[in-house]
Amino acid sequence: MKLSDIKNNETVVITKVLGHGSFRKRIAEMGFIKGKQVKVIKTAPFNGPVEYKILNYNISLRRSEAERIEVIPLEEFVTPPHEGFEGVIDRNIIIDSTSPRAKTINVALAGNPNSGKTTLYNQLSGSRERVGNYSGVTVDIKKTTFTAYGYTFHFFDLPGTYSLTAYTAEEIYVRKFIYEETPDVVINVLDATNLERNLFLSTQLIDMDLRVVVALNMFDELSKQSQQLNFDKLGKLMGMPFVPTVSSRGEGLDDLLQKVIRVYEGTEPTTRHIHINYGQELESSINAIRDIIKVNKPITDKISSRFLAIKLLEKDQQVLELMSGYPNFMEIAAVTHKEIKRMESLLNEDSETIVTDAKYAFISGALKETMHTPKPVITSMSDKIDRILTHPKLALPIFGLILFVVFYTTFTLGAYPMGWIDKGVLWISEGLRSIMADGMLKDLLIDGIISGTGSVLVFLPNILILFFFISLLEGTGYMARASFIMDKVMHKFGLHGRSFIPMIMGFGCNVPAILATRTLRNRGDRLLTMLIVPFMSCSARLPVYILIISAFFTKYQALILIGIYAFGIILAFITAQVFNKLMFKNKETPFVMELPTYRMPTMRNILFNMWEKTKHYLKKIGTVILVGVIIIWALEYFPRTTERTAGYETTIEMLQVQADTDAAAAQLLQQTEMEMESDRLMNSYIGRIGKVMQPIMSPMGFDWKMSIALLAGLPAKEIIISTMGVLYQSNVDESTVNLQEKLINEVHDRGKLKGHKVFNTASALAFLVFILVYFPCIGTVAAINNESGTWKWGAFSVAYTTSLAWVLALITYQIAILII
């Protein structure tokens, strides 16, 4: 009987995991081994992945993957009399605690995703790293330094990882960091409510012969579940001290630091060098391989020979490559092959599974001796919430409703502080205008810097509101559910379900979204996801959307905004399908993803996440955007005269004499002044650039100013607004820094359309589409270059997005003209 055949709410026992390679190894490490109970929870919408509960946590697999797991009914399973718990082998090494120690301790934080590792890092260091309740938040190593108890601590927050197997980029990254940087102490952060799965990584840290302190995180939740853990006894058994912590509230962290100091100094009695006893046959194979490895001292000076031997038994390709340059590599390979063959024939199982089973046997035995677990609650609160949010029929409507609420609130709530900031910037402009003498400095400050940066600053409240909701969704664990819900749809378009997390992150900023593609194991999946992430409307585009939608789509603003975001997602799916068939032809990779327990994020973390994004936005206004504004203003300001300027000035002098007594002359004077300014603007440096671009952009209904704004947006999309703030300011009364009124009243100043409105519904829609699709910002292109390993993919993303933007904007404009 296959796991894929089991109905919802049924519980079965695993008897065998079929298949080969990385999939089998990964799900074995996640707990899918012989003898473990699995409960079927539900199927995702569109008959997508299936949610299962194993080892007290929820995980999703596709049906094609569940077909590889053989099971039997719970009542038919007979527990074997001996489950393989052999205890540990004490190495009896005396630690010298009398030798002098430096007052600097290098500490690495290692733990499973969702164990609270980054929250603990933030609390200890005062740092404000981004925290989210799903896998793949920490995509690089973060470092912080602080002092406590007379020591200087260098803390390294390693990417979340389930094991030290060469399965994902994170796991290779963590393993390489540990044996190359050799931290003094490793803090292994565990989710106290899910010890059986979390301790798997701990066994590998023991194999690496490291000095470890265990942070037993979320210990308060363990107590709420009425589970009793003798963590002192467990620590003595495993040779590493356990410290209960609640990182979200900062509880137990002082004890943790003091324990780190004692382990570093060699005065902690719990710490002892042990080997996990994997059983007579497996230990025999480990020792045989280890003896050959130990001949080469350079590698074993950094990496435990026992760890290497175990990894070779697990057929770890990275370790094989690591050792391939050593003189006796052929002998190592021969002994490894011999021992693998012996173990597999003896136990009738793959060697990787044999090692994994032995580790889980040790973990189960250790927990039986130290932990009392009452009868489990039939349905947890998290499961009750999931019954609604991931319901096969309700999940997508709820997801759509959540997006609607986010965007509707962004518009309605953000409108009030937008008005306040608008008035504040205008008040500053009027004050400076009244006290400064006329001249270039006054024009630069008021018409350039204040008008340009102020046009961007007014959208800060909308950015804050959007990031509040994104932080809330990340912190609760809903993001992982979004991947679960969307996997079937994404699979149809050649994308992996995990690609949905970088795509969602792209709504905040495309750069960290590109970095988050590291969570995808297959290089083709990573590249494909990188190329479609720019279609996700980042926060830099949001002010432009709000500006255009508020001015030209006064009804159904939230729906129009949702439509733009949805169009980006649809476009990403279609592009992925085309690229997958033409360029990548990705092999199907497993969808193995944890669905973390719902947790209410602390307001502290949400506010700090918002502040980080706000700082980034304000910093961009004060640097990139400010420089862009000055450049655009200078290109627009010079030269000051044209061939027709002298004639206009003569006419203006004559009209000024008559204007006081003749209303018609006064009106003609105002019109002549506007024509002179329009003539100067057309012949300015930026006007000349606009003339060159105009033939290319006019089929979409864009005037030369819109074209220049798009060109200026290449470094950062916010510059589009500041550029428009500089360019669209001569034809209407300066009563606001908000551009809506200026854009509504803007008319063409040349050609057949002279005197007609520049913006209408059709051109506004085409402009929105062009903004959505064209040229990722410079930071995103650089991230694609770095993550892909070559500049070619970054250049390709620039070329195809800009070409596609022109085509789609043209189609949008022409269709809208016909319909509207």
Which of helix, strand or coil describes residue 544?
Answer: helix
User: What average pLDDT does the segment 294-303 reach?
Assistant: 69
User: What average pLDDT does the segment 10-35 reach?
Assistant: 81
pLDDT for the residue 378: 56
User: What average pLDDT does the segment 590-618 reach?
Assistant: 76
Q: What is the band of 809 on the pLDDT scale with cuts at 50, 70, 90?
A: very high
pLDDT for the residue 412: 80
Q: How far apart are CA 225 and CA 222, in angstroms?
A: 5
pLDDT for the residue 376: 61
In contact, 58 and 594? CB cutoff 8 Å: yes
Q: What is the band of 340 on the pLDDT scale with cuts at 50, 70, 90?
A: very high
In contact, 317 and 290? CB cutoff 8 Å: no
Residue 2, pLDDT above cutoff 50: yes
Residue 205, pLDDT above cutoff 90: yes
37, 58, 104, 605, 741 from 533: Cα distances, Å: 38, 28, 41, 26, 33
Q: What is the band of 342 on the pLDDT scale with cuts at 50, 70, 90?
A: very high
Per-residue pLDDT tens for 244-292? Answer: 999 888 899 999 999 999 999 989 999 988 888 988 889 999 999 988 8
Averaged confidence pLDDT in the chain: 82
pLDDT for the residue 84: 65
Residue 732, pLDDT above cutoff 50: no
Share of the chain above pLDDT 70, in %: 89
Residue 133, pLDDT above cutoff 50: no
Q: What is the band of 135 on the pLDDT scale with cuts at 50, 70, 90?
A: very low
Per-residue pLDDT tens for 470-499? Answer: 788 878 888 778 878 877 777 777 777 777
Per-residue pLDDT tens for 221-249? Answer: 887 777 889 999 999 999 999 999 998 88
Per-residue pLDDT tens for 757-782? Answer: 888 889 999 999 999 999 887 778 87
pTM of the full structure: 0.72
Residue 132, pLDDT above cutoff 50: no
In contact, 227 and 235? CB cutoff 8 Å: no
pLDDT for the residue 631: 85
Q: What is the band of 200 on the pLDDT scale with cuts at 50, 70, 90?
A: very high
Q: What is the band of 737 on the pLDDT scale with cuts at 50, 70, 90?
A: very low
Q: What is the band of 301 on the pLDDT scale with cuts at 50, 70, 90?
A: low
Strand residues in 44-184 grouped as ranges (E): 50-54, 57-61, 69-73, 88-90, 104-111, 142-148, 151-157
Residue 738, pLDDT above cutoff 70: no
Q: How far apart are CA 660 and CA 666, in angstroms?
A: 7
Phi, psi of 371 (to 5 degrees): -130, 135
Share of the chain above pLDDT 90, in %: 20
Q: What is the band of 730 on the pLDDT scale with cuts at 50, 70, 90?
A: very low
Does 166 or 395 have the greater pLDDT score?
395
Residue 213 CA neighbour count, 13 Å, CB half: 28
pLDDT for the residue 377: 54
Exposed, middle or buried, 595 (CB in 10 Å: 0-12/13-18/19+)?
buried
Task: Enumerate residues 6+ apart whose C-beta is below 8 A from 646.
Answer: none
pLDDT for the residue 216: 95
Per-residue pLDDT tens for 528-541? Answer: 889 999 998 887 78
In contact, 217 and 246? CB cutoff 8 Å: yes
Give the range among 29-33, 100-104, 257-261, 697-701 with minimum mean pLDDT: 100-104
Give the range among 343-357, 671-685, 748-762 with minimum mean pLDDT: 748-762
pLDDT for the residue 245: 94
Nearest to 51 by CA among 376, 396, 379, 383: 383
Q: Kindly report the number of other CB atoms within 10 A of residue 761's CB atom.
A: 13
Residue 336, pLDDT above cutoff 50: yes
DSSP bridge pairs for 213: 187
Residue 719, pLDDT above cutoff 80: no
Residue 734, pLDDT above cutoff 50: no
Q: How far apart are CA 17 and CA 24, in angstroms?
A: 7
Exposed, middle or buried, 348 (CB in 10 Å: 0-12/13-18/19+)?
exposed
In contact, 331 and 292? CB cutoff 8 Å: yes
Residue 107, pLDDT above cutoff 90: yes
User: What average pLDDT does the segment 708-731 reach?
Assistant: 73
Does 745 or 310 have the greater pLDDT score?
310
Strand residues in 415-534 grouped as ranges (E): none
pLDDT for the residue 558: 81
In contact, 796 and 682? CB cutoff 8 Å: no
